[in-house]
Structure 1
Amino acid sequence: MKETNRLIMDMIDYYTGDPKRIQHFIKVHSFAKLIGTLEKLDENTLFILETAAIVHDIGIKLCEEKYGDCNGKLQETEGPAIAKDMLERLGYDAAVIERVCYLVGHHHTYSNIDSMDYQILVESDFLVNLFEGNESKAACESALNHIFRTKSGSAICKKMFA
């Protein structure tokens, strides 16, 4: 089984009984893969992006159990260690794990986005969160103007929330 598919199945197992979380990471992964491909990321960066998109919210489950809250900052604190354990168990390369854990630990931090994998992960998560949160047109426009930087992600956002 392809590495990405194996990781998706592990995340589905991880979120057994929680279709909302499963649907969320599947959608974020799909947008990340699409935008990353359209933006012509190299193969390694696209692989890291896809991996991060799949596990980006892995900290939610522990945060809900430990704190009764799963806000973005708590996810960034707790998520990387859980992602690292899963990716090591699945045999991912150490450099990939390190970068994915960095992205998991920053995916709710919108200042100092310094790379395409980081930017596209944030945009993909926003596309899904804006829809799932049934956000207002004004909120969508604000995200478009303040968060989106890629040509492809911006175009998708404009078309989705026109």
Structure 2
Amino acid sequence: MKEVERVKKIGYVIDEAIGYFTPDISRINHLFKVYSYAKTIGEMENLDEKMQEILEVTAVLHDIGIKVSEEKYQSSAGCYQEIEGPAIARKILEQLGYDEVFIERVCYIIAHHHTYHEIDRLDFQILVEADFLVNIDEDQMSKEAIQSIKEKIFKTRTGINYINHLYL
């Protein structure tokens, strides 16, 4: 990894994630789509500046464990991503100068982002909604599956508005 001035800017996190996932353009595009939805929903839901920053960084890194999961377990299953992702995210964020409290929160969300009963705050809720908005399209889910996801998972006004407008 390149030597970077110790600043906290989302561009550096994105740059590290692109480098990590290259040449897998589908994973890179996925992180950009989730990031875009998460950023927008967070802003529309009026997150405070710190929670918005945590949300955006987590959105970029949420699937960072998928590469190791496929190598180690021959699977991209969410449970393996939750195991492998936090250590990789921690290394990136430490290099970029993020503080321990920030890193802990990002790693917590990454370590649970497929365990929906663990959602504990709005940053986590929005990340899950953004990921579903992208996965619904990428996985070509049925209307019935989408309706079920909406009823069981979506809670924010903006996320509900987007799932309705985009898919229902």
TM-score (norm 2): 0.94
Equivalents in 2 of 1:82, 1:102: separation in Å? 13
C-alpha separation between the residues in 1 aligned to 2:140 and 2:59?
21
CA distance in 1 between counterparts of 2:28 and 2:128 reads 18
SS of equivalent residue, structure 1 residue 41: coil
Unaligned runs of 5+ in 1: none
1:40 equivalent to 2:50? Answer: no
Identity %: 51
| Other-structure match for 1:87 | 93
Equivalent residue for 1:58, pick from 55, 64, 71: 64
Calculate the aligned-residue CA RMSD, in Å. Answer: 1.1
Q: Report the equivalent of 2:162.
A: 156
After TM superposition, give the deviation of residue 2 of structure 1 in Å: 6.6
CA drift at 1:112: 3.7
Distance 2:54 2:150 in 1: 24
Shift of 1:158: 0.5
Three-state SS of the structure 2 residue aligned to 1:105 is: helix
Which residue number in structure 2 is paired with residue 96 of structure 1?
A: 102
Q: What is the TM-score of this pair, normalised by structure 1? A: 0.97
Deviating 4+ runs (over 4 angstroms) = none
Superposed, 1:98-113 pairs within 5 Å as 98-113=104-119
Give the residue type in structure 1 aligned to 2:62.
Answer: H
Name the amino acid aligned to 2:146.
C
Distance in 2, matches of 1:58 and 1:113, equals 19
In structure 1, distance between residues paired with 2:155 and 2:8: 31
Q: CA deviation at 1:114?
A: 1.6
Residues matched between the structures, number? 162
Gaps of 5+ in 2: 1-6
Secondary structure at the aligned position of 2:117 is classed as coil
Q: Secondary structure at the match of 2:140?
A: coil
Q: 2:124 aligns with which of 103, 118, 128?
A: 118
Matched with 1:143 is 149
